[in-house]
């Protein structure tokens, strides 16, 4: 059986609610979820109940009846340190990052969006409001001036949101207001973290999303899926699903680990999804982090509470040149790999304002080039490159004088060291 079917079997047990409730009585436990058991932060493909704790004391400091068992009624457990009171927002105005710090015309999903205190999050997606208006979706805490978790709906509605060309200067309400918050989540009722923005008449915007030429319908992820998000802080970044139905006072959540220790502060409000049949299918809205792991609320909860729906159409026309920031915006991330045939699928996207060319190179630690693929992409166009790989290889994309590199080992370091079929051992020594 697959990991997904094993987890579904656990979720469908008639006594699962009682088992989850029983775990809540152990010291420091504040939530449970369903997921992939981890050992030393490595996945095992063993279905389990994730037990989220505020702290992990040594078992020697606990009575026997206070120690969470390794399994309960035939279900493995996995204790996860994810303190409830340390769930941190992923926006931070003090980080120095050149990712997506310019603005475009029209405004894009994936751009930064600022509140009046200069704190930013990510403009996540275009949505259709309850009355049929075209709106934009982000996190409530990204557009509120209150601290994370203390937002007041009535106070946030009507507040202005700002574009990012004046991010380092005081906001000028006559120049850089792009819209107004027209609805937001109600924290008093433990709603998910969301806000809806109506753009001003002078702001051109598009439902298209940085790095994706189309957004599909909501689809629940499986544990075999590679997760991708497009955040204002990181650009395109891959991730692995860890847990589903992670119960919290923000609703049921997804937990996922982000590739390569990316700092994701600033990604609050970004869509999280999978790529299937060359289409991005979202399932969550990122809103919090803990170390290198992130949390996303369920989009189905967001839309049920807001009355909005995902807008999968595109509108607004051609992107014109931005007046601030860099135009070198190629981004790439691993989205799939084939262990048997030793190939890897790399998503490459032109997230800049204009058409560009670049080279995607796969090379070993010794500098041997496995492959070089020339790529020419229009603005906001993407392509998926399938190429050979081997242990120790890196993927590098170069556009003019800008270079970004992906270390391939996080995906393949558990595999035998052997070259692709079209190389010899002499080539890579």
Q: Average pLDDT, stretch 110-132?
A: 86
Domain that holds residue 173: 89-209
Do residues 246 and 277 both lie within one domain? Answer: yes
Q: Provide the domain count of the chain.
A: 4
Which CATH number characterizes residue 253's domain? 2.40.10.10
Do residues 198 and 93 both lie within one domain? Answer: yes
Residue-wise pLDDT for 134-167, tens only, equals: 899 999 999 998 888 888 999 999 999 887 544 4
User: Lowest-confidence range among 105-109, 201-205, 267-271?
Assistant: 105-109
Q: Average pLDDT, stretch 182-198?
A: 93
Do residues 359 and 251 both lie within one domain? Answer: no
DSSP per residue, 104-168:
-BSEEETSEEE-TTS-EEE--EEEE-TTS-EEEEE-HHHH-SSPTT---HHHHTT-EEE-STTTT
313: enclosing H helix or E strand:
none
Per-residue pLDDT at 303 exceeds 90: yes
Position 380 confidence tier, pLDDT thresholds 50, 70, 90: low
Q: Which of residues 252 and 406 earns the better pLDDT score?
A: 252
Task: Tell me which of 150, 176, 209 is where a domain ends.
Answer: 209
Q: Has residue 313 been placed in a domain?
A: no
Q: Has residue 287 been placed in a domain?
A: yes
| CA separation, residue 172 to residues 136, 200, 280 (Å) | 22, 15, 36
Which CATH number characterizes residue 392's domain? 2.60.40.2950
Do residues 94 and 74 both lie within one domain? Answer: no
Cα–Cα nearest to 181, from 211, 153, 149: 153
Task: Tell me which of 209, 238, 269 is where a domain ends.
Answer: 209
Rounded to whole angstroms, the Cα distance separating 73 from 76 reads 9
Q: Has residue 29 been placed in a domain?
A: yes
Residue-wise pLDDT for 83-107, tens only, equals: 666 566 655 444 444 445 544 556 6
Do residues 241 and 271 both lie within one domain? Answer: yes
First CA to last CA distance, the chain = 39
Q: Has residue 393 been placed in a domain?
A: yes
Q: Has residue 325 been placed in a domain?
A: no
Rounded to whole angstroms, the Cα distance separating 241 from 222 reads 8
Do residues 286 and 347 both lie within one domain? Answer: no
Do residues 80 and 163 both lie within one domain? Answer: no
Per-residue pLDDT at 419 exceeds 60: no
Do residues 186 and 102 both lie within one domain? Answer: yes
Residue 374 has what pLDDT? 86
Q: Has residue 312 been placed in a domain?
A: no
Residue 95 has what pLDDT? 41
User: Lowest-confidence range among 19-28, 171-180, 265-274, 284-293?
Assistant: 171-180
Global pTM?
0.74
Q: Which of 81-85, 190-194, 230-234, 322-326 has the highest mean pLDDT?
A: 190-194
Q: Which of residues 95 and 385 earns the better pLDDT score?
A: 385
- Tokens describing residue 363: 């090379």
Task: Tell me which of 39, 66, 86 is where a domain ends.
Answer: 86
Rounded to whole angstroms, the Cα distance separating 274 from 225 reads 7
The helix/strand/coil state of 359 is strand
Residue 277 has what pLDDT? 76
Residue 291 has what pLDDT? 65
Which ranges in 12-85 belong to alpha helices (H)?
16-23
Q: Has residue 316 been placed in a domain?
A: no
Do residues 60 and 128 both lie within one domain? Answer: no
Q: Average pLDDT, stretch 178-205?
A: 88
Do residues 197 and 235 both lie within one domain? Answer: no
Q: Has residue 317 been placed in a domain?
A: no
Report the chain's mean pLDDT, rounded to a whole number: 77
Do residues 202 and 295 both lie within one domain? Answer: no
With beta carbons less than 8 A apart as the criterion, state whether 242 and 257 touch.
Answer: yes
Q: Average pLDDT, stretch 408-429?
A: 36
Distance of CA 257 to the CA centre of its chain: 9
Do residues 60 and 132 both lie within one domain? Answer: no
Residue 404 has what pLDDT? 60
């Amino acid at each position: 059986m697959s990991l997904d079917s094993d987890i579904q079997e656990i979720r469908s047990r008639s006594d699962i609610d009682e088992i989850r409730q029983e775990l809540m009585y152990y010291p420091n436990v504040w939530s449970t979820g369903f997921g992939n058991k981890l050992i030393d932060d490595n996945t095992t493909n063993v279905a389990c109940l994730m037990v989220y704790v505020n702290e992990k004391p040594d078992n020697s400091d606990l009575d026997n009846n206070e120690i969470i068992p390794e399994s309960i009624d035939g279900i493995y457990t996995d204790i996860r340190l994810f303190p409830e009171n340390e769930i941190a927002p992923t926006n931070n105005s003090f980080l120095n990052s050149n990712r997506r710090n310019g603005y475009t015309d029209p405004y894009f999903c994936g751009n930064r969006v600022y509140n009046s205190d200069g704190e930013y999050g990510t403009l996540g997606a275009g949505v259709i409001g309850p009355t049929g208006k075209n709106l934009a979706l982000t996190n409530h805490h990204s557009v509120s001036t209150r601290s994370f978790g203390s937002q007041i709906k009535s106070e946030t509605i009507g507040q202005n949101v700002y574009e990012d060309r004046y991010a380092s200067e005081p906001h000028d309400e006559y120049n850089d207001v792009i819209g107004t918050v027209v609805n937001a989540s109600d924290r008093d009722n433990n709603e998910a973290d969301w806000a809806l923005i109506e753009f001003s008449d002078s702001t051109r915007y598009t439902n298209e999303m940085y790095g994706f030429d189309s957004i599909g319908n909501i689809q629940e992820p499986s544990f075999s899926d590679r997760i991708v998000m497009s955040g204002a802080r990181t650009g395109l970044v891959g991730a692995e699903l860890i847990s589903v139905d992670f119960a919290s006072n923000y609703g049921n959540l997804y937990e996922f680990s982000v590739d390569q220790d990316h700092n994701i502060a600033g990604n609050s409000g970004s869509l999280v999804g999978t790529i299937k049949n060359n289409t991005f299918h979202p399932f969550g809205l990122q809103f919090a982090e803990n170390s290198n792991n992130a949390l996303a609320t369920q989009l189905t909860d967001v839309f049920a509470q807001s009355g909005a729906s995902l807008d999968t159409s595109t509108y607004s026309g051609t992107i014109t040149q931005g007046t601030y920031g860099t135009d070198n915006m190629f981004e790439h991330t691993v989205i799939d790999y084939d262990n048997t045939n030793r190939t890897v699928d790399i998503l490459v996207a032109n997230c800049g304002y204009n058409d560009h060319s670049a080279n995607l190179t796969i090379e070993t630690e010794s500098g041997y080039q496995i492959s070089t693929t020339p790529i020419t992409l229009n603005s906001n166009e993407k392509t998926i490159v399938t190429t050979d790989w081997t242990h120790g290889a890196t993927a590098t994309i170069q556009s003019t004088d800008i270079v970004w590199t992906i270390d391939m080992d996080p995906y393949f370091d558990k595999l035998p060291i052997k070259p692709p079929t079209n190389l010899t051992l002499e080539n890579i020594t």
